[in-house]
Amino acid sequence: MKHHARPMDDDDFDSDMDEGGGGRGRGDGDPLGLRRRGGKRRVCRYCADSAVLIDYKDAQALKFFITERGKIVPRRISGNCALHQRAVTVAVKRARTIALMPYTAVG
């Protein structure tokens, strides 16, 4: 069984190049994706206000660090520092263990 490839037209070649080419960039002249995306750097809410404590029994406060699927939000998204992100992770896992928070999405 032989496969015959159809000859490539100039239109086919141009349509492949219009989709961004390759590399990690978004097609805006940054082929390696080195430029940082815009946005304000979030400040750790626990470092900013030392009166706020991380408590595994406070499920309402911990729900900001959980996605709707039940995953723990990473610190680059939540804005927590490394110390407080570890504490939040431990608190979420403890709250899950005693059934204050779900392990996965409901429904």
Residue 72 pairs in a beta bridge with 66
pLDDT one digit per residue (tens) for the chain, 107 residues: 666 666 666 665 555 555 555 566 556 666 666 666 666 777 899 999 989 999 999 999 999 999 999 999 999 999 999 999 999 999 999 999 999 999 987 76
| CA–CA distance, 76 with 85 (Å, rounded to integer) | 10
Three-state DSSP state, 100: coil
Three-state DSSP state, 101: coil
Give the per-residue pLDDT at 106: 72
Which one is the CATH code of 45-97: 3.90.330.10, 3.90.700.10, 4.10.640.10, 3.50.7.10? 4.10.640.10
Q: How many residues does the chain have?
A: 107
Contact indicator for 75, 81 with CB cutoff of 8 Å: yes
